[in-house]
Chains A and B, each alone.
Chain A
Amino acid sequence: MPHSIPIVVATAIMLAIAPACAQSPMPGGMPPPAGMSLAESTAMRFPQPVRAGDLAHRLILQPVESQIILGRVRSVVRNAQGDVSVVMNFGGFYGYGGRLIAVPIDAMVLLGDEMEVVAYTPKQLAAFATFTPDATTPVADDTILKVGLAKPSH
C-alpha cells in the first residue's frame, strides 16, 4: 500500500521525538542525607521567612531538570505537635485534580515562586494517606514560616 508511506514516515518521526518527552535522569535538589531529620536538613538549606498566604496556589515540582509538576499548594496546616505541613493535591495532571496529601514543610524547599519536594520521591508521596483536616489547624495567611532553599534542579 503506497499510501501508507506518509503514515510510516510520520510514525518514525514521532518515535524519534518521543524521548524528548521522557524524564531526564538528572538528580535535582538533593534529598537529605540518610539519618538526618527533616528539620536538620532544612536548617542546612538557609531557611528563609515566607508568608504562609504567599504559598497558596504555588506549583510544587519534582526536583528534576524537566521540572515535573507534582501538584499545587492548597493550604498550610499545623498538627497537634505543632509541625507545619503543606496540603497539596497529588496524583493529578499538571497541577489539577488528584487527591489531597499533607507534606511536612521541612520536606520542601522554595524555588523562586515555586516549591519542590526534596525529601520524598513521587513514589513515596503516593503512599501518603489522603489528608483529612481532623486534628490540624489551618495556619493563618499572615504567619511567617521558615522554609529552606534550593538552586534550580539541573
Chain B
Amino acid sequence: MKKERSPKDRRLHPLAIRVMHWINAAAMMVMITSGWGIYNDDVIINGLHFPGYLRLGEWAAWSVNWHFAGMWFFGINGLIYLTYGVATGRLRERLLPIRPRDVVKTVVETLHFKIAHEDLTVYNAVQKLLYILVILASINQALTGLALWKPVQFSSLVSLFGGFQSVRVFHFAGMVVIVGFVIVHVLLAVLVPKTIWAMLAGGPRLEKRRSPQGASK
C-alpha cells in the first residue's frame, strides 16, 4: 500500500542525509585507521603505538596514500553536509537549543540505563552535545589536517594552532574525540537497532516542521 506523499511529507533522515552519513562513516574509518598508520612513524604519546591489525595501509606510504585519498571524501562530503544542514535548518532544528538542566536530566537517566529512544525524531540534550562536539572535532580535523598537509602555504593556520608539532597534537586530539564519539554512537545504535534501520530506510515520517524550540520536551 503506497501512501500518497505530500510535498511537505518529510522523513526523519532524508535520502541526502542517509547517503552523506554512510559516506562519512566510511571516510572516517579510512581517515582514522590510515592516520594510525602514519602516527606510528613518530608517536605523539610515547609508548602508544597502533598494532598492524588496526592500521589501514601495509606500511607508512600506503597509510599516507589512503589518508590523502580519504580526505577528499571526508572533506567534500562534510562541506556538503554542513551546507545542507545550515541551508535546510536541519542542524538548528535538531541540535539547538541545549539547556543545562536537560543535560543533567539525560545524564542521570543514562546512568540509570534508561536509554529511551521511543521518539527517534527528538534528540536528548546529551545527544545534541555529542553531535555538536563531533561536528566541531571534524572541523578541527579538516583545519589541522590542512595545516599539516601544507604547513608553508597555510603557515598562518599553523601559527594559529601554535606551531607544527602543536598542530599534530590538535589533530591527534580531534581523532580521540571522534573515536570516543564513534564508540558511544555505535554502542547506542546497537542497543536501539531501530536507529540503524532509520539511517538506512529513512525512519519515521515527520508530519510538520517543528519549531526549533519544540525540539526538547
Contacts and interface: CB of A to CB of B under 8 A. Distances in A.
| A touches B (Cβ under 8 A) | yes
Interface of A: 3, 5-6, 9-10, 13, 17, 19-24, 59, 61, 65-69, 94, 152, 154
Contact of A21 (B48, B113, B190): B48
Nearest to A14: B183
A56 B42 CA distance: 22
Contact of A20 (B50, B113, B183): B50
B19 interface: no
Contacts of B42: 67, 152
B113 A6 contact: yes
Given A6-B187, A9-B187, A94 B40 contact: no
A72 to B, nearest CB: 12
A68 B43 CA distance: 9
Interface of B: 40-43, 46-51, 54, 113, 183, 187, 190-191
A19 B54 CA distance: 10
A122 B11 CA distance: 61
Contacts of A5: 191
9 contacts: A3-B113, A5-B191, A10-B187, A20-B49, A20-B54, A21-B48, A23-B47, A67-B46, A94-B46
A69 B47 contact: yes
Contact of A67 (B43, B50, B51, B190): B43
Chain A interface, DSSP helix/strand/loop, else mixed: mixed
A21 B47 contact: yes
A94 B48 CA distance: 12
Contacts of B113: 3, 6
B46 A154 contact: no
Contacts of A19: 51
A21 B113 CA distance: 30
Closest 5 CB pairs of A and B: A66-B49, A3-B113, A69-B46, A68-B47, A67-B46
Contact of B43 (A22, A66, A94): A66
Nearest to B190: A9
Given A66-B43, A154-B41, A23 B191 contact: no
A20 B113 CA distance: 29
